[in-house]
């Protein structure tokens, strides 16, 4: 057992290991061994980092002595530190990385050009780890940009596929925008004195408007990486474009690094929040949750569906963060602890089931070559393990008991129920409304994953590729089974996870949730037993036992005869699998109800003229209003200005000189007036 003081060096060595693997990938070139060796190595290295971070977390999360390396900007250096919050996020990152690497040992074989993926993959893992370990603003921003660029390279891995270039372009733009916002935020916090280490920033005090500006900038910067509406547009383009194990990491883990950035700045560095900031975060979270899942509900592409569902879950996380802010602004420590624990639990849960679902989508993609759900179907027969694990992931993400997604949503609901005591009228109005949005998004998520699983895996195959699919390889299967098991364990033993999170909460806000280890029967009790409690283990056992007893009794005492026959379908079975409900027809009622205003969904039927033998066509037009109203005008303005500025490239020397001269005079004038 290593002492906790050693954990930071070990994790840093793991990061060096990742970078070494990246170099090795270039060296190995396109050798056939490269894929298993590199992914196996990445898996082992992340496992080491995972164990180190878990030891740090279990040891109570004392801040280990930071490391300062004489690199980077001379007067700042490069600081690394590992406190409870970082070690939790290191654990989330490296758990995801270890499983994704395991999955990729098998999945990576299907890669046509492995050199486009292999060097960047370990670099991406290193970048995410470094962001969380950074102990000063400079290191943080450099690591953040490193993470963005390496993931951009991975998004562009299949750059020949149509649409991927656009995805990469938009991703690059939003990533740069996000980094810019974070840069400005840290600049504001460092102040003119230039205290760039987190220790200095934490001790400083900020006036109201500086704090507000920093919060807005962090919301933009971290929110654009996390996929907060309306900054989410890049996410459903970029995440599906990458290879599936990278999609899993980007959706399941990288968005969590963005959540880390938000928590680090707002709860750790910035000090006391104001109550109206929680209003903004709550509103953004609620809108993100509902819009994200509504978009997910109308997608045909299974990986885009999953990416939009990530947007939804980020919304749920931000709702929790908003609640925590509201409680903290009013000094209700129990509420802050509950809401923040719910947030961190959902961070962990979402990283588990979203990785699992992307793995499943990847397995389907490599088995059939299809991402379009309307060309899939019936895969439960051909790919039983993938289908089973995808089902577990779907139940978990739909927030259904006894799996883990329900626990974190349940805790968020409990936090909402604590909030009527908050004195501000705005919050009294906002919190129940956001609660309704949260409940709505949970119900819509269930609908979304009934559709996702049902169309992809159930029914009859809609295309030849789906009818001839083959189960995926052992490595991928074991990765998916491992995650499914973790989803179940986190769902039935949430108390253990909550207790493990306690040091993180303690170090952030100076309070924590009550100890869950003492509660009898492994229940979880957020506030008091008379108020609310939930026991995932018992619910799971009860369901399992009653289903088993019912099945046993019926098979023992009643009939167990089975006869196979053609489908009944009310007497009108149709042999063509095209008569099944498709992805589009399944979501039609929901599209009609919600989509008419939100997507301006319009249905059109084109009937051929009488006598014409051509087929009638049914078309649905959808619009992305966020894109049309926000981004299209911005793009228009940028285009216009660029066109105007284009003239500046064709000036004479004299004009250039006069431009420089005018700029100098203006600056001097500003200085003269300002002083």
Which 452-471 residues touch another protein, going by CB under 8 A? Answer: 453-455, 458-460
Least Å from the CB of residue 550 to another protein: 5
Eight-class DSSP state of 33: T
In whole angstroms, give the CA distance from residue 386 to residue 393.
10
Q: Contact between 475 and another protein (CB under 8 A)?
A: no
Residue 492 structure tokens: 């039935």
Give φ, ψ of 69 to 5 degrees: -105, 140
SS3 state of residue 529: coil
Q: Contact between 588 and another protein (CB under 8 A)?
A: yes
| Window 597 to 656, contacts with another protein (CB under 8 A) | 597
Rg (CA), the chain: 26
In whole angstroms, give the CA distance from residue 334 to residue 342.
12
| Window 315 to 354, contacts with another protein (CB under 8 A) | none
Which of the ranges 114-122, 250-258, 568-576, 652-660 carries the binding residues for another protein, by CB under 8 A?
A: 568-576
Q: Contact between 558 and another protein (CB under 8 A)?
A: yes
b/e sequence 222-252, b meaning 16+ C-beta within 10 Å? bbbbbbbbbbbbbbbbbbbbbbbbbbbbbbb
Residue from 173, 532, 623, 626 in contact with another protein (CB under 8 A): 532
Residue 403's CB: how many other CB atoms inside 10 A? 27
For the window 200-239, what string marks contact with another protein as x by the rule CB under 8 A? ----------------------------------------
Least Å from the CB of residue 469 to another protein: 14
Q: Contact between 36 and another protein (CB under 8 A)?
A: no
Q: Contact between 188 and another protein (CB under 8 A)?
A: no
Tell me whether residue 593 or residue 662 sits nearer to another protein (CB atom). Answer: 593
Residue from 213, 539, 620, 626 in contact with another protein (CB under 8 A): 539
Q: Contact between 429 and another protein (CB under 8 A)?
A: yes
Tell me whether residue 304 or residue 591 sits nearer to another protein (CB atom). Answer: 591
Residue 355 structure tokens: 């990785």
Tell me whether residue 118 or residue 383 sits nearer to another protein (CB atom). Answer: 383
Tell me whether residue 151 or residue 535 sits nearer to another protein (CB atom). Answer: 535
Tell me whether residue 551 or residue 665 sits nearer to another protein (CB atom). Answer: 551
Residue 239 structure tokens: 């995440």
Q: Contact between 308 and another protein (CB under 8 A)?
A: no
Tell me whether residue 545 or residue 667 sits nearer to another protein (CB atom). Answer: 545
Residue 486 structure tokens: 């973790």
Tell me whether residue 530 or residue 649 sits nearer to another protein (CB atom). Answer: 530
DSSP bridge pairs for 621: 602
Residue 391 structure tokens: 């089902």
Least Å from the CB of residue 448 to another protein: 9
Compute the Cα dihedral for 24, 28, 30, 32 and give only its sign: negative
Least Å from the CB of residue 176 to another protein: 38
Please name which of 229, 225, 220 lies closest in space to residue 255, comparing C-alpha atoms.
Answer: 225
In whole angstroms, give the CA distance from residue 50 to residue 57.
10
Please name which of 490, 492, 496, 542 lies closest in space to residue 518, comparing C-alpha atoms.
Answer: 496
DSSP bridge pairs for 80: 67, 134
Least Å from the CB of residue 452 to another protein: 11
Tell me whether residue 565 or residue 652 sits nearer to another protein (CB atom). Answer: 565
| Window 370 to 409, contacts with another protein (CB under 8 A) | 377-378, 380-381, 384, 391, 395, 398-401, 406
Contact 410, 279 (CB under 8 A): no
Least Å from the CB of residue 570 to another protein: 5
Compute the Cα dihedral for 532, 535, 538, 544 and give only its sign: positive
Tell me whether residue 579 or residue 639 sits nearer to another protein (CB atom). Answer: 579
Residue 180's CB: how many other CB atoms inside 10 A? 15
Measured in whole angstroms, the distance separating CA 237 from the mean position of its chain's CA atoms is 14
Residue from 18, 120, 534, 599 in contact with another protein (CB under 8 A): 534
Which of the ranges 57-65, 319-327, 342-350, 551-559 carries the binding residues for another protein, by CB under 8 A?
A: 551-559
């Amino acid at each position: 057992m290593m002492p906790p003081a050693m954990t930071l060096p070990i994790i840093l060595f793991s990061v060096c290991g990742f970078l070494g693997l990246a170099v090795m990938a270039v060296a190995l070139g396109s050798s056939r061994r490269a894929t298993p060796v590199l992914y196996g190595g990445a898996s082992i290295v992340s496992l080491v980092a995972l164990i180190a971070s878990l030891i740090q977390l279990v040891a109570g999360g004392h801040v280990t002595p930071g490391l300062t390396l004489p690199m980077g900007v001379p007067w700042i250096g490069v600081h690394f530190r590992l406190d409870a919050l970082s070690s939790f996020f290191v654990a989330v990152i490296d758990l995801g990385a270890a499983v994704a690497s395991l999955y990729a040992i098998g999945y990576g074989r299907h890669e046509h050009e492995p050199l486009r993926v292999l060097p960047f993959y370990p670099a991406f893992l290193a970048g995410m780890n470094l962001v969380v370990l950074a102990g000063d603003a400079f290191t943080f921003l450099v690591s953040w940009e490193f993470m963005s660029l390496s993931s951009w390279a991975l998004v562009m891995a299949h750059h020949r596929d149509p649409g991927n270039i656009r995805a990469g372009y938009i991703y690059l733009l939003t990533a740069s925008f996000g980094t810019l916002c974070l840069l400005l935020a840290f600049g504001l916090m460092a102040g003119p004195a230039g205290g760039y280490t987190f220790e200095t920033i934490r001790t400083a005090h900020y006036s109201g408007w500086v704090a507000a500006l920093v919060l807005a900038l962090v919301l933009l910067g971290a929110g654009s990486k996390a996929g907060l509406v309306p900054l989410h547009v890049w996410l459903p383009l970029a995440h599906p474009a990458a290879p599936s194990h990278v999609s899993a990491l980007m959706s399941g883990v990288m968005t969590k690094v963005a959540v880390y950035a938000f928590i680090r700045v707002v709860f750790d560095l910035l000090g006391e929040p104001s109550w109206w900031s929680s209003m903004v975060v709550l509103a953004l979270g609620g809108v993100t949750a509902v819009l994200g899942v509504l978009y997910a509900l109308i997608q045909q592409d299974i990986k885009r569906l999953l990416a939009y569902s990530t947007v939804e879950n980020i919304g749920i996380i931000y709702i929790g963060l908003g609640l925590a802010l509201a409680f903290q602004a009013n000094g209700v420590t129990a509420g802050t602890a509950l809401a923040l624990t719910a947030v961190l639990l959902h961070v962990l849960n979402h990283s588990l089931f979203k990785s699992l679902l992307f793995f499943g989508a990847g397995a389907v993609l490599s088995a059939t070559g299809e991402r379009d759900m309307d060309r899939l179907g019936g895969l439960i027969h051909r790919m039983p393990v993938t289908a089973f694990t995808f089902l577990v992931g779907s139940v978990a993400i739909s927030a259904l008991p006894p799996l883990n997604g329900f626990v974190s949503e349940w805790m968020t609901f409990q936090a909402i129920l604590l909030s009527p005591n908050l004195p501000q009228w705005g919050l009294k109005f906002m919190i129940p409304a956001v609660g309704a949005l949260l409940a709505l998004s949970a119900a819509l998520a269930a609908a979304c994953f009934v559709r996702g699983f049902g169309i992809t895996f159930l029914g009859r195959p809609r295309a030849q590729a789906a009818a001839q699919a083959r189960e995926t390889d052992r490595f991928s299967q074991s990765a998916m089974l491992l995650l499914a098991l973790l989803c179940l364990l986190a769902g039935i033993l949430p108390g253990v996870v909550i207790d493990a999170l306690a040091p993180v909460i303690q170090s952030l806000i100076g309070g924590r949730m009550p100890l869950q280890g003492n509660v009898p029967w492994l229940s979880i009790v957020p506030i008091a037993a008379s108020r609310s409690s939930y026991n995932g283990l018992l619910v799971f056992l009860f369901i399992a036992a009653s289903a088993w007893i019912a099945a046993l009794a019926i098979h023992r005492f009643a009939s167990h005869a089975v006869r196979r026959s053609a489908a009944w379908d009310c007497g009108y079975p149709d042999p063509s699998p095209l008569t099944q409900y498709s992805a589009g027809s399944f979501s039609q009622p929901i599209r009609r109800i919600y989509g008419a205003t939100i997507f301006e969904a319009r249905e059109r039927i084109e009937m051929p003229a009488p006598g014409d033998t051509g087929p009638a066509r049914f078309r649905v037009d959808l619009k992305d209003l966020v894109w049309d109203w926000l981004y299209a005008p911005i793009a228009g303005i940028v285009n216009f200005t660029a066109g105007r500025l284009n003239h500046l490239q064709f000036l004479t020397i004299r004009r250039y000189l006069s431009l420089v001269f005018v700029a100098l005079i203006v600056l001097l004038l500003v200085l003269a007036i300002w002083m």
